[in-house]
Amino acid sequence: YHNFTHAFDVTQTCYTFLTSFGAAQYLTHLDILSLLISCMCHDLNHPGFNNTFQVNSQSELSLQYNDISVLENHHSMLTFKILKNSECNILEGLNEDQFKELRRSIVQLILATDMTNHFEYVNKFQHHLNNQPFDRNKKEDRQMILNFLIKCGDISNIARPWHLNFEWSIRVSDEFFQQSNYEKICGYPVTPFMDRNKTTRARIAADFIDYVAAPLFQGMARFLVDSKSLLEIMTLNRQKWQAIMELQKEGKFSDDELKFMEDPTVMVQKLPKISEEENGNTNKDKDKDKNNNNHGNGNNANNNNNNENNNNTANSPKE
């Protein structure tokens, strides 16, 4: 999951926020440069094991960064180590004040991708939206916008067309299962949502949309109205993960078999209630079923389930 394609994916998404959804009007040129650099570099040298694992294993990185946003501090350090190389220094044209401002912003942007603080960022952004408009002349307001943009970009696979959301979800669940396997072997506390014996790939994807992605993208839709289309795609994807969970409950296929299905879209389209033609509407009985058996509210992300193919995050790829 954490590879160069992910870095490019996040960058492309944030570029779309800037150009197609209008975020650039709130930012300076230096802000935009810091955002795009941060997108490319926010997971540099990611080991595939999260901060919790780093701390529990007392890894070298954990010791180096005193257990605080371990990976994000590492990614940030490497970003400037690379930029300091004369062959990579795209910032040499900046004056001293511009460089200091850019560095400050990039460090904050990359640290914002630490999911430990996710809900704090979301709540602050929502509070600001509820109480006052963003002021382009205030550095703090612009940084809040930047942080929110990269956070949305970092998990934007949930708002990609279904086949891409499926692929990224399989990849991230592979990393999760690998980490939980090592946690068991090493005797560390096992992260519950990563334990293949206690969850499934579809459950991971559905819960992530419900509890992490939906509040984030709902806030973005309020801020950048045109980005509402992403909520519609996310809702369709959530329904398809629900359909997969129901098929698995019926014993149609295992979690391991799901991983190797060549065309998950075709597999999901076999369900008449989740077909592409139906704009995500399911019958009432099935809806009651879901509301009773889910952590719920995945379908509350957006009730306007319009045509999936008419709206995607700048027409694909992709915390």
Q: At what angle do helices 29-41 and 70-84 cross, to 10 degrees?
A: 110
Look up residue 14 and give its two tokens: 């944030």
The number of angstroms, rounded, from the C-alpha of 30 to the middle of its chain's C-alpha atoms is 24
Confirm whether 2 is a catalytic residue: yes
How far apart (Å, rounded) are the C-alpha atoms in residues 154 and 158?
A: 10
* Nearest alpha-carbon partner for 308 in 286, 275, 283: 275
256 is in an annotated binding site: no
Contacts of 231 (CB under 8 A, 6+ apart): 159, 217, 218, 221, 301, 302, 304
How far apart (Å, rounded) are the C-alpha atoms in residues 218 and 303?
A: 12
Strand locations in the chain (E): none
289 is in an annotated binding site: no
Any idea what DSSP says for residue 190? P
Look up residue 26 and give its two tokens: 């709130």
How far apart (Å, rounded) are the C-alpha atoms in residues 237 and 227?
A: 16
42 is in an annotated binding site: yes
Look up residue 300 and give its two tokens: 């509350």
Amino acid at 289: D
**Residue 40 burial by Cβ neighbours in a 10 Å radius (0-12, 13-18, 19+):** middle
How far apart (Å, rounded) are the C-alpha atoms in residues 64 and 87?
A: 27
Q: Which residue among the candidates 2, 74, 75, 118 is catalytic per the annotation?
A: 2
Handedness of CA 114, 22, 10, 88 (dihedral sign): negative
Residues in the chain: 319
97 is in an annotated binding site: no
Any idea what DSSP says for residue 258? H
Q: Residues within the annotated binding site?
A: 6, 42-43, 154
- Residues of the binding site for Zn(2+): 6, 42-43, 154
Active site residues: 2
